[in-house]
């Protein structure tokens, strides 16, 4: 078993442990899968389910911040306004499943923004301030 571990360590690229630690403290969106097409990190289908995987994703907050927190679809080129997901079926620290809204302009690519008050390290603990997580790339709708 030890030889296998040494062999794997030699083959796999080393990752920067500080970058991994920072991501786990701040949270991150690792991938977004469109359930209608099965395509990851490229397209979103209006009115259908998406699965977001990552770290520190859980959407929650104090009553005073309920209007701000949520899952948003933000146009990249300023083509229209952001839309908030109205239906979130699964809301966990590592997974969110939500329905893509139908009422936005599909001419422009969109990024996903999660606004939450939960801690990335301890999924249920509320922070004093809200925080934002953004998808790396933009999605065609």
What does the pLDDT look like over 6-64, one tens digit per residue?
Answer: 444 444 444 444 444 445 567 899 999 999 999 999 999 999 999 999 999 999 999 99
pLDDT at 79: 65
Supply the DSSP string of 37-73, one letter for each residue. Answer: T--BSSB--TTSEEEEEEES------GGGTTT-EEEE
Domain boundaries along the sequence of the chain: 2-134
pLDDT at 103: 83
| Coil vs helix vs strand at 122 | coil
Q: Is the pLDDT of residue 90 over 60?
A: yes
pLDDT at 25: 62
Phi and psi torsions of 46, nearest 5°: -55, 135
Q: What is the pTM of this model?
A: 0.80
pLDDT: is 79 or 132 the higher one? Answer: 132
Class of domain 2-134: mainly beta
pLDDT at 107: 79
Q: What is the mean pLDDT of residues 111-121?
A: 90
pLDDT at 89: 96
**Average pLDDT, whole number, for the chain?**
82
């Amino acid at each position: 078993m030890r030889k296998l571990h040494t062999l794997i360590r030699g083959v796999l690229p080393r990752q920067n442990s500080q970058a991994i630690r920072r991501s786990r403290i701040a949270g991150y969106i690792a991938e977004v899968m469109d359930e209608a097409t099965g395509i990851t990190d490229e397209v979103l289908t209006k009115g259908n389910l998406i699965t977001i995987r990552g770290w520190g994703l859980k959407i929650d907050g104090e009553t005073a911040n309920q209007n701000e927190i949520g899952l948003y679809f933000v146009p990249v080129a300023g083509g229209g306004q952001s839309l908030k997901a109205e239906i979130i079926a699964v809301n966990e620290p590592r997974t969110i499943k939500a329905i893509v809204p139908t009422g936005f302009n599909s001419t422009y690519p969109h990024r996903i923004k999660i606004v939450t008050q939960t801690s990335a390290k301890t999924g249920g603990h509320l922070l004093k301030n809200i925080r934002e997580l953004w998808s790396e790339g933009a999605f065609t709708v």
